[in-house]
């Protein structure tokens, strides 16, 4: 069933991002520095928590995924001006 779902999503993602390779990386759940926030959302879904910091020349967002405890979150993704620049996996 998952293979059918992936096949249905692959073509629209390939057209959206202009590359079958990027579509495959998104569908496999991979994350990399340089991917856009939109690609990350297409790959991992909406984050559990977002913290935004506004600076003079850039906007930094920290997206958190996966609740690890009542008040703890894991998978910290750092996004500057809409592009992933770093991440931490607990």
Residues 1-12 have a mean pLDDT of 82
pLDDT tens-digit readout, 30-46: 889 999 999 999 999 99
Does residue 1 share a domain with residue 21? yes
* Angle at 4 (CA atoms; ends 9, 47), nearest 5 degrees: 45
The reported pTM is: 0.85
Domain enclosing residue 23, as ranges:
1-30
Total domain count for the chain? 2
Does residue 73 share a domain with residue 39? yes
In this model, does residue 73 exceed pLDDT 80?
no
Does residue 41 share a domain with residue 78? yes
Residues 6+ apart with CB under 8 A from 16: none
Does residue 51 share a domain with residue 23? no
Does residue 26 share a domain with residue 47? no
CA 79 – CA 85 distance, rounded (Å): 6
More confident residue, 18 or 89: 18
Does residue 43 share a domain with residue 19? no
Does residue 90 share a domain with residue 46? yes
């Amino acid at each position: 069933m998952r293979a059918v779902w992936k096949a249905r999503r692959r073509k629209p993602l390939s057209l959206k991002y202009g590359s079958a390779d990027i579509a495959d990386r998104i569908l496999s759940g991979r994350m990399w520095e340089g991917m856009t926030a939109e690609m990350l959302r297409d790959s991992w879904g909406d984050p559990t928590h977002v913290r935004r910091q506004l600076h003079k020349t850039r906007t930094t967002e920290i997206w958190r995924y996966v609740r690890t405890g009542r008040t703890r979150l894991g998978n910290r993704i750092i996004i500057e001006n809409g592009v992933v620049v770093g991440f931490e996996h607990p």
